[in-house]
Chains A and B, each alone.
Chain A
Amino acid sequence: MKFVAVTSCPTGIAHTYMAAENLEQTGKDLGHDVQVETQGSAGTVPLSDDIIAAADGVIYAADLEVKGKDRFAGKPFVDVGVKKAVHDPKAVLEAAIAAVENAPKAGTPEAAALAAAAPAPGKSAARDVGVGTRVRQWLMTGVSYMIPFVAAGGILIALGFLFGGDEVVTKLYGGEFEGVTYENVAGSLPLGFPTGQNFDTLLSQAGFAGILFALGKVAFFMLVPVLSGYIAFGIADRPGLVPGIVGGLLASVLGAGFLGGLVSGFAAGGLAYALTRLRVPKGVRGVMPVVVIPLVSVIVVGLFMIFVVGKPVAALTEALTDWLTSLSGTTGILLGAILGLMMAFDMGGPLNKVAYTFAAAGLTTAITSESGGPALTIMAAVMAAGMTPPLGMALATAVRKKLWTEAERENGLACWLLGASFITEGAIPFAAAHPLRVIPSCMVGSAVTGAMVMGFGNQLRAPHGGIWVLPLISNPVLYLLAIAVGTVITAGLVIFLMSLDAKKTERLAHEEDVAEGVAA
Chain B
Amino acid sequence: MTDLITPELVVLNLVATDKADATRQLAQKLQAAGRVTDLEGFLADVAAREAQMATGMPGGIGLPHARSEHVTVPSLGLARVPGGVDFGAPDGPATLVFLIAAPAGGGSEHLTILAALARRLVRPAFRQTIIDAADEAAVASYVQSEVGS
Residues of A within 8 A of B (CB): 9-18, 20-22, 25, 38, 40-43, 63, 83, 86-87, 282, 285-286
Contacts and interface: CB of A to CB of B under 8 A. Distances in A.
B57 A18 contact: yes
Given A21-B123, A43-B108, A14 B63 contact: yes
Contacts of A282: 105
A52 B102 CA distance: 32
Contact of B119 (A10, A21, A285, A286): A21
Contacts of A41: 67, 102, 108, 111, 114
A28 to B, nearest CB: 12
Interface stretch (B5-13, B48-56, B133-141): B48-56
B122 A25 contact: yes
B118 A14 contact: yes
Interface in B27-70: 49, 52-53, 55, 57-58, 63, 65-67, 69
A41 B65 CA distance: 13
A17 B114 CA distance: 9
A16 B119 CA distance: 9
B114 A13 contact: yes
Nearest to A87: B58
Given A11-B65, A11-B67, A86-B58, A17 B53 contact: no
Nearest to B122: A21
B129 interface: no
Given A18-B119, A22-B122, A42-B115, 19 more contacts: A13-B100, A14-B55, A14-B100, A14-B114, A15-B118, A16-B118, A17-B118, A17-B119, A18-B57, A21-B118, A21-B119, A21-B120, A21-B122, A42-B108, A42-B111, A43-B108, A63-B53, A83-B53, A285-B105
For A10, A11, A16, the residue with the greatest tally of chain B CB atoms inside 10 Å of its CB is: A11
Contact of A16 (B49, B112, B115): B115
Given A13-B111, A41-B108, A42-B112, A20 B58 contact: no
A285 B68 CA distance: 12
B121 interface: yes
A285 B111 CA distance: 20
Contacts of B116: 17
B122 A18 contact: yes
Nearest to A42: B111
Contacts of A17: 114-116, 118-119
A13 B49 CA distance: 11
Contacts of B102: 13, 41
Contacts of B111: 12-13, 40-43
Interface of B: 49, 52-53, 55, 57-58, 63, 65-67, 69, 89-91, 100, 102, 104-105, 108, 111-112, 114-116, 118-123
B115 A13 contact: yes
Contact of B65 (A14, A63, A285, A286): A14
B113 to A, nearest CB: 9
A429 B87 CA distance: 42
A13 B66 CA distance: 8
13 contacts: A10-B49, A12-B111, A13-B100, A15-B53, A18-B119, A21-B118, A21-B119, A21-B120, A83-B53, A87-B89, A87-B90, A282-B105, A285-B104
Contacts of B123: 21, 25
A87 B57 CA distance: 7
Nearest to B118: A17
A20 B114 CA distance: 14
Nearest to B54: A83
Contact of A11 (B58, B66, B91): B66
A40 B115 contact: yes
A282 B55 CA distance: 28
Contacts of A15: 53, 118
A41 B100 CA distance: 14
A42 B114 contact: yes
A14 B62 CA distance: 11
A285 B53 CA distance: 24
A285 B104 CA distance: 10
For B55, B104, B114, the residue with the greatest tally of chain A CB atoms inside 10 Å of its CB is: B114
Given A10-B52, A13-B114, A42-B115, A86 B57 contact: yes
Contacts of A286: 69, 104
Q: Which 3 A-B pairs have the closest CB atoms?
A: A17-B118, A42-B111, A21-B119
Contacts of B121: 18
Contacts of B108: 41-43
Contacts of B57: 18, 86-87
A235 B108 CA distance: 25
A257 to B, nearest CB: 35
A147 B1 CA distance: 52
Contacts of A86: 57-58
A13 B65 contact: yes
Contacts of B69: 286
Contacts of A38: 115
Nearest to A12: B111
Contacts of B67: 11, 13, 41
A13 B101 CA distance: 10
Contacts of A20: 119
Contacts of A13: 65, 67, 100, 102, 111, 114-115, 118
For A13, A15, A22, A38, the residue with the greatest tally of chain B CB atoms inside 10 Å of its CB is: A13
Contacts of A285: 104-105
Contacts of B89: 87
A244 to B, nearest CB: 21
Nearest to B74: A13
Contacts of A42: 108, 111-112, 114-115
A17 B115 CA distance: 6
Contacts of B90: 87
A14 B65 CA distance: 8
B6 to A, nearest CB: 20
A267 B32 CA distance: 48
A252 to B, nearest CB: 30
Nearest to A25: B122
Nearest to A41: B111
